[in-house]
């Protein structure tokens, strides 16, 4: 039997950490369910807490599933023409309400263009960036923009959140990496973004300043 490599060991350690994080909302649910069983009168107080715990667990499970599926599936992509305005409308329908729920301003700027790509994967890629932008922005706003840069079509996600130091800006794309205090995510959102970008044949760039926010740019060459 082959000995595990250092990278295998590190991946296993990080996966164990992610699974530990997944246990936390499930254990919270068990506690809430036990309280509810013994005192149904607490339903109004416990219901929103239970719903939040379920949402956290679902988000963690989705991230793990997405990452595993992308690493395992190397099949050829189905690519079709995708009108950019329709793609932006799809994303706004999902993420604009989430931004406004946090009292964040939502801005969107597009171009009338058609991109030959896998629309489902591109929606997931940009959706992960938007979800991160909203999650890590306490005040200000989020901008989803599409611009032409020479022969390239560039999607941009801007936020006015906490930002990050230069030394951390490459690490955030590694699987199971989370900066600062542990949060609710598995540290897989940006790893999934990188995997999706590799599959779609586009590039992802990050520019960020601590305390000033971040911008992610996803570039497709014509």
Q: Which CATH class is domain 80-221?
A: alpha beta
Pairing of strands 114-117, 141-149: unpaired
67 is written with which tokens? 């990452």
3-state secondary structure 12-38: HHHHHHHHHHHHHHHHHHHHHHHHHHH
Average pLDDT, integer, range 72-93: 82
Residue 134 confidence (pLDDT) above 70: yes
Q: Residue 186: pLDDT band by 50, 70, 90 thresholds?
A: very low
Coil vs helix vs strand at 65: helix
Contact 158, 143 (CB under 8 A): yes
Q: Which carries the bigger pLDDT value, residue 173 or residue 89? A: 89
Dihedral pair phi/psi, residue 162, rounded to 5°: -70, -25
Contact 193, 204 (CB under 8 A): yes
Q: Percentage of the chain with pLDDT > 70? A: 73
Q: How many CB atoms lie within 10 A of CB 42?
A: 13
Q: Residue 183: pLDDT band by 50, 70, 90 thresholds?
A: very low
Contact 128, 193 (CB under 8 A): yes
Contact 173, 166 (CB under 8 A): no
Domain boundaries, the chain: 6-72, 80-221
Task: Give bridge partners of residue 81 from the DSSP assignment.
Answer: 116
Contact 136, 172 (CB under 8 A): no
Q: What is the mean pLDDT of the chain?
A: 80
Handedness of CA 140, 90, 152, 73 (dihedral sign): positive
Q: Percentage of the chain with pLDDT > 90? A: 34
Residue 182 confidence (pLDDT) above 50: no
- 2-16, 56-70, 96-110, 137-151: range with lowest mean pLDDT: 2-16
Average pLDDT, integer, range 212-222: 90
Average pLDDT, integer, range 120-148: 91
Q: Residue 190: pLDDT band by 50, 70, 90 thresholds?
A: confident
Give pLDDT tens digits for 5-34: 555 565 565 565 566 566 767 887 888 888
Q: Which residues contact 91 (CB under 8 A, 6 or more apart)?
A: 123, 126, 127, 130, 144
What is the C-alpha separation between 55 and 52, in angstroms, rounded? Answer: 5
Q: Which residue has the tokens 């036990």?
A: 34
Coil vs helix vs strand at 64: helix
Q: Which carries the bigger pLDDT value, residue 188 or residue 82? A: 82
Length of the chain: 222
């Amino acid at each position: 039997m082959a000995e595990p490599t250092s990278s295998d060991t590190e991946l296993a350690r990080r996966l164990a950490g992610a699974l530990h994080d997944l246990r936390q909302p499930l254990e919270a649910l068990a506690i809430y369910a036990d309280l509810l069983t013994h005192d149904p009168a607490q339903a109004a107080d416990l219901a929103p807490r239970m719903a939040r715990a379920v949402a956290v667990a679902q988000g963690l499970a989705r991230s793990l599933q997405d990452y595993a599926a992308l690493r395992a599936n190397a099949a050829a992509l189905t690519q079709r023409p995708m009108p950019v305005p329709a793609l932006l409308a799809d994303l706004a329908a999902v993420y604009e309400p989430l931004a406004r729920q946090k009292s964040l301003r939502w801005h969107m700027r597009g171009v009338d263009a058609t991109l030959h790509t896998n629309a489902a994967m591109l929606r997931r890629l940009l959706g992960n960036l938007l979800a991160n932008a909203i999650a890590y922005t306490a005040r200000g706003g989020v901008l989803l923009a599409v611009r032409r840069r020479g022969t390239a079509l560039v999607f941009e996600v801007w936020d006015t959140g906490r930002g990050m130091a230069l030394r951390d800006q490459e690490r955030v794309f590694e699987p199971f990496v989370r900066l600062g205090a542990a949060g609710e995510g598995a540290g897989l959102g940006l790893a999934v973004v990188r995997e999706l970008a590799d599959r779609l044949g586009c590039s992802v760039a990050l520019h960020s300043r601590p305390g000033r926010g971040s911008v992610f740019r996803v570039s497709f060459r014509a």
